[in-house]
């Protein structure tokens, strides 16, 4: 539910039971369990709230508590004994057999008992931190066991959270979505892309909506081009089996398109989830997938030099670890403004950012002079959380010289207050518990992602010589061909 506090609106999570499938997996350990602890530690969890962790691995209570402490500590928490103890009191673990009707019957009994103990009243959030192949079988059995029900039938609810990868191809993604809808309607399915939960990403729309000075120039009349950068410092981190199936394009495209949409979509009339999703859909409809010839001219693939030395990587692997591409948006706001994207592993420091590069002056006394610096509106998403705008001013002194200056907002500089902010996963869990789908992906968005990506994958497979895999040094910001992609248009990548 939404609660208005003065001039602020705050999403307040409803009392509920949280069920985590795949509780012993890597995703659970790195992201979900720390997020659950963070909600409890920061006082953001619902008043009546319990957690059931389910996985195939048998585990006694001592082993469970040690595992949870390790997960929370590695995420950067230093849990006080009383706080961690209170967290443990809210949860229990059951050994899962996802193919057994008996397991779901046992789960239903435990949820009924915990509902009665906590006063939750049949409000359940099921997080499927499992491989995508398990989504449909688990949701089908949840349905037949009476754990997924139509909220119109009572004052209760049940919701499902799933996480990428959303399939491995367009056909596979469509089949995956169809399987989910056999058990639950779209209103009960919450597809996570954790980038949408990041503070700076959400501030893109907030700044545009609340400050006319920005929104008035957020168009092709003022903006020359847009850059999106998603660089990671590390390589596979033990995920070779996954990466050898998916490659970077499949792994990153959801993140990239969400960043593009939140940057460039028209502002919705309200921030209700239905209005927000309608504007995102309109934006995606204005992007045409590339033809094979356009893929050849507008995309660059790369692979870092040490990739074949990673454990589990095939000696002849041709999976890309770097991708750069250019696309156009065919609508009144952005027509003629190119969007340039670069994403890669072992590409230097960890950097995710959006940069709107403005046109140079075309009127006034400096219209015939190249000042040398464009205005750039930058949203730094990770590891920093900053917003900055570069201005051009006169350099102090007797000469008429120009120099760039920067105005900025640094979230991490807000100290103690910032320490209480929810992380991306914490925020998304709050939204799901509140029943707000604004920050979650629709089935249309998943289908569009694959429609946009499929021509690239097909062209790379059909004509690898026309779209070669360029090598780049570990730690370099991609291959030289990525620099050439933007420089042939008379532009350059933002220096990181």
Catalytic machinery residues: 255
52: which 2 tokens? 């059931």
CA separation, residue 251 to residues 222, 230, 242, 372, 450 (Å): 33, 12, 9, 37, 12
Give the C-alpha separation, 263 to 1, whole Å. Answer: 26
CA separation, residue 385 to residues 262, 380, 418 (Å): 16, 5, 11
CB 1 within 8 A of CB 12: yes
∠ CA(149), CA(150), CA(154), 5° rounding? 95
453 Cβ neighbours under 8 A, 6+ residues apart: 249, 250, 253
CA separation, residue 116 to residues 18, 49, 146, 466 (Å): 15, 12, 17, 63
**Side-chain half-sphere of 263: how many Cα atoms within 13 Å?**
27
Contacts 24+ apart (CB under 8 A), 66-73: 67/24, 67/29, 68/33, 68/37, 70/29, 71/28, 71/29, 71/30, 71/33, 71/34, 72/33, 72/34, 72/37
């Amino acid at each position: 539910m939404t609660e208005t506090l003065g001039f602020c609106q705050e999403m307040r999570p409803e009392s509920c039971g949280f069920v985590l499938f795949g509780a012993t997996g890597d995703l659970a350990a790195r992201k979900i369990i720390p997020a659950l602890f963070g909600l409890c530690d920061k006082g953001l969890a619902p008043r009546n709230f319990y957690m059931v962790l389910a996985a195939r691995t048998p585990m006694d209570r001592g082993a469970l508590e040690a595992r949870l402490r390790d997960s929370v500590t590695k995420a950067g928490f230093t849990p006080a004994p009383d706080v961690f103890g209170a967290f443990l009191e809210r949860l229990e673990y059951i050994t899962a057999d996802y193919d057994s009707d008996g397991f779901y019957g046992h789960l239903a009994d435990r949820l009924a008992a915990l509902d009665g103990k906590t006063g939750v009243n049949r409000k359940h959030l099921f997080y499927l931190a499992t491989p995508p192949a398990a989504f449909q079988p688990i949701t089908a059995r949840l349905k037949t066991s009476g754990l997924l029900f139509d909220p119109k039938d009572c004052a209760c609810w049940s919701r499902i959270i799933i996480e990428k990868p959303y399939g491995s191809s367009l056909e596979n993604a469509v089949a995956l979505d169809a399987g989910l809808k056999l058990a639950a309607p779209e209103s009960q399915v919450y597809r996570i892309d954790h980038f949408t939960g990041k503070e700076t990403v959400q501030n893109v729309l907030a700044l545009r909506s609340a400050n006319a000075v920005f929104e008035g120039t957020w168009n092709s009349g003022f903006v020359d081009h847009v850059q999106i950068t998603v660089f990671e410092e590390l390589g596979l981190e033990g995920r070779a089996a996954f990466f050898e199936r998916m490659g970077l394009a499949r792994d990153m495209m959801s993140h990239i398109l969400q960043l593009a949409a939140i940057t460039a979509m028209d502002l919705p009339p309200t921030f209700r989830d239905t209005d927000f999703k309608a504007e995102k859909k309109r934006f995606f409809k204005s992007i045409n997938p590339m033809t094979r010839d356009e893929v050849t001219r507008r995309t660059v693939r790369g692979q870092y030099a040490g990739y074949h030395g990673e454990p589990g990587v095939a000696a002849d692997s041709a999976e890309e670890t770097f991708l750069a591409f250019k696309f156009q948006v065919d609508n009144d706001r952005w027509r003629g403004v190119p969007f340039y994207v670069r994403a890669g592993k072992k590409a230097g420091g960890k950097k995710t950012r959006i940069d709107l590069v403005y046109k140079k002056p075309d009127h006034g006394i400096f219209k015939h002079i190249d000042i040398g610096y464009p205005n750039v509106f930058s949203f730094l998403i990770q590891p920093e959380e900053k917003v900055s705008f570069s201005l051009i001013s006169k350099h102090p002194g007797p000469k008429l010289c120009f120099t760039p200056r920067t105005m900025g907002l640094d979230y991490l500089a807000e100290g103690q207050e910032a320490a209480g902010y929810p992380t991306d996963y914490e925020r998304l869990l709050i939204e799901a518990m509140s029943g707000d789908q604004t920050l979650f992906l629709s089935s249309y968005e998943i289908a569009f992602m694959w429609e946009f990506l499929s021509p690239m994958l097909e062209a790379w497979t059909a004509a690898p010589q026309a779209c070669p895999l360029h090598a780049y040094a570990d730690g370099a910001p991609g291959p030289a061909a990525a620099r050439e992609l933007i420089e042939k248009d008379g532009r350059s990548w933002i220096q990181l």
